[in-house]
Structure 1
């Protein structure tokens, strides 16, 4: 079964409510929410990424409604994802054969990488010229083979050791017929997996939005010179140096001053190693805020299990947020990460 709506992970009522509130174009609404980049806002409205609670609160505030009014019940009898997705289509008729091949190719690429421990993401980029962000997109079958450029085609030919597209299609089909792709197909082409994941994330958002909403501190003006400053707020510091540039979430017993823009869940994180280069030395401490979305040009902390990874944030030419690390050398497509695993870095202290 091919899931034609596999790229939609968060169907919502943003577009509907935006138009009801008189915003014919998303760009006009975007100007009222400068904290959310337009590309990110567009992806939220199109359901391509799951919004964070603070993002929904900002969108709702701009539309003058309750944040939960932006959510959809995908189990409601009147919800049809085909009808919901239609306004976002480009008018092209889906080619089922090409959609099928895109999914099989994604599964074959996942199998190729998973079954060869030496074929790491870094090796694929270095030896085959396939950047991590594009590797992720191909593995998730985000578009048909014909819509990838010649460089991606060449990288895939090399990865599968074939001469051209015809040989690649034959190789992928042969692997599918042999049953080697079956364990990997369910993560790409199973609508039930997508629906279950969407249902869980919407439930988490409902819970978070029904809790007492934290103040949107990023919108507060800075105090004027001479204005008395409120009491200093100290937050706990965590940090333990781990292999591969990771930072363990272990209490240090120390505290650090948090800036006024930091949210209620902010905490300090020891850098431990200069994973982003000399500009952020090992002895520095950063303040991470899970209630704020990382933005291009800033820094982010990405939760990996019980550890954190510090990344510098930039945008690729398609507007996707990418997190970079120098040591180890890696790229992480942040738009593909669970928003709850990301925290913006709002300050740094150099000791």
Structure 2
């Protein structure tokens, strides 16, 4: 594919982690230090002299550099070979003085010093994920339909290397997914998503500090919880507490539906209901009734809201009337637009499955800070949109 000058129009600057080496360092650990302390200067020495067979050199090197998480059985095996407790391999990354970037640079080989793409590569990755979801495809589906391996798609979406360094056939496959054949077509798609407001939300989901912290800590917690011993239990408890304090816990784990009698009720039982409007601050909209009314097309209690800010991006303008239907939390499945209702306050979010719960997103990543504490909110799904 010939190199084509492509102009990417940046309408806003979503706060993201620019450093590729920080984004790709997910599991800082003490493996290298413990290995050398035990007298194994090189990884090959360690593998040969200990008889390690269940972890190959490439995977072990990635674990040592913090690029991937070790499995629980691998942690236990490595600790046994080094004659230490499993938790001895861990670094307390929740401490305030821990510097992830310094650790990563100290543990990265010279030939691998540059990890991750630029902001432009991040925007291509975000656009690819938006497009993949539009097509309803998983990363594993891409191999059959576009000839792109699942691992490669994931690395592009997470901007783990500059896009121009991918093979020509991968760049062509990306352009084909975008409905074109060249870098110019990719740039056109990125710009379109940006103008619609969807790119900002995806950039925040993939690359904001909060999003990275949430993913890294959740994976670390899941690993530690599977390890034996009091030290593992203590570390897990400390990590859980920190995640709760910073609002990084999956909100749906504690979400429960509260009876209408338990809080001021803004839902209407009548088919024709008042339109609610209000001011949005920190992602919440404090609503009140207007003289306008709207007749809904469903039977369950509902609310009709007109927002003053495009919290989900420019794809749903503020002139649109959003009509939500009250549902039980168990009915939240797949990707949905939800309204979380806390008395007279409403937070409109996009939700998608993530682990055992759901990940919520708005355009501004800072507006996601308190979602994990909303155990008393009620949930409604978007059922109608009326454009002005």
Query: Is the contact between residue 14 and residue 45 of structure 1 (CA under 8 Å) also seen in structure 2?
Result: yes
Query: Is the contact between residue 29 and residue 89 of structure 2 (CA under 8 Å) also seen in structure 1?
Result: yes
| Aligned equivalent of 1:30 | 47
Measured in 1, the distance between the counterparts of 2:118 and 2:184 equals 16
Measured in 1, the distance between the counterparts of 2:217 and 2:114 equals 26
Name the Cα RMSD after superposition. Answer: 2.9
| Aligned equivalent of 1:189 | 207
Distance apart, 1:123 and its partner CA:
5.5
| Aligned equivalent of 2:16 | 2
Measured at CA, do residues 187 and 25 of structure 1 come closer, stay the same or move farther in structure 2, by a change above 3 Å? farther
Alpha-carbon deviations, 1:23-77, whole Å to 9, x = none? Answer: 2211222232212222221221122221122211111122121111100111223
Bigger radius of gyration = 2
Q: Determine whether 1:70 maps to 2:84.
A: no
SS in structure 2 of the partner of residue 209 of structure 1: coil
Measured in 1, the distance between the counterparts of 2:53 and 2:140 equals 34
Query: Is the contact between residue 14 and residue 70 of structure 1 (CA under 8 Å) also seen in structure 2?
Result: yes
Alpha-carbon deviations, 1:134-178, whole Å to 9, x = none? Answer: 222212222111110111011112111234224423431342243
Measured in 1, the distance between the counterparts of 2:16 and 2:112 equals 17
Query: Is the contact between residue 2 and residue 103 of structure 1 (CA under 8 Å) also seen in structure 2?
Result: no
For structure 1, which runs of at least 5 residues remain unmatched after alignment?
Answer: 214-337, 339-351
Measured in 1, the distance between the counterparts of 2:145 and 2:90 equals 44
| Aligned equivalent of 2:304 | none
Distance apart, 1:192 and its partner CA:
2.2
Q: Output aligned runs, 1:245-324, within 5 Å.
A: none
| Aligned equivalent of 1:90 | 110
Q: Determine whether 1:18 maps to 2:38.
A: no
- Identify which of 59, 64, 71 aligns with 1:45: 64
Measured in 1, the distance between the counterparts of 2:37 and 2:133 equals 47
For structure 2, which runs of at least 5 residues remain unmatched after alignment?
Answer: 1-14, 232-354, 356-388
| Aligned equivalent of 2:162 | 144
Measured in 2, the distance between the counterparts of 1:23 and 1:193 equals 37
Measured at CA, do residues 56 and 177 of structure 1 come closer, stay the same or move farther in structure 2, by a change above 3 Å? same
| Aligned equivalent of 1:306 | none
Q: Determine whether 1:100 maps to 2:119.
A: yes
- Identify which of 187, 190, 193 aligns with 1:175: 193
Which range is displaced more, 40-49 or 189-198?
189-198
Query: Is the contact between residue 52 and residue 205 of structure 1 (CA under 8 Å) also seen in structure 2?
Result: yes
Query: Is the contact between residue 139 and residue 154 of structure 2 (CA under 8 Å) also seen in structure 1?
Result: no
Q: Output aligned runs, 1:100-179, within 5 Å.
A: 100-117=119-136, 119=137, 121=139, 124-179=142-197
SS in structure 1 of the partner of residue 227 of structure 2: helix
Distance apart, 1:92 and its partner CA:
7.1
Distance apart, 1:204 and its partner CA:
4.0
Distance apart, 1:120 and its partner CA:
5.5
TM-score, normalization by structure 2: 0.49
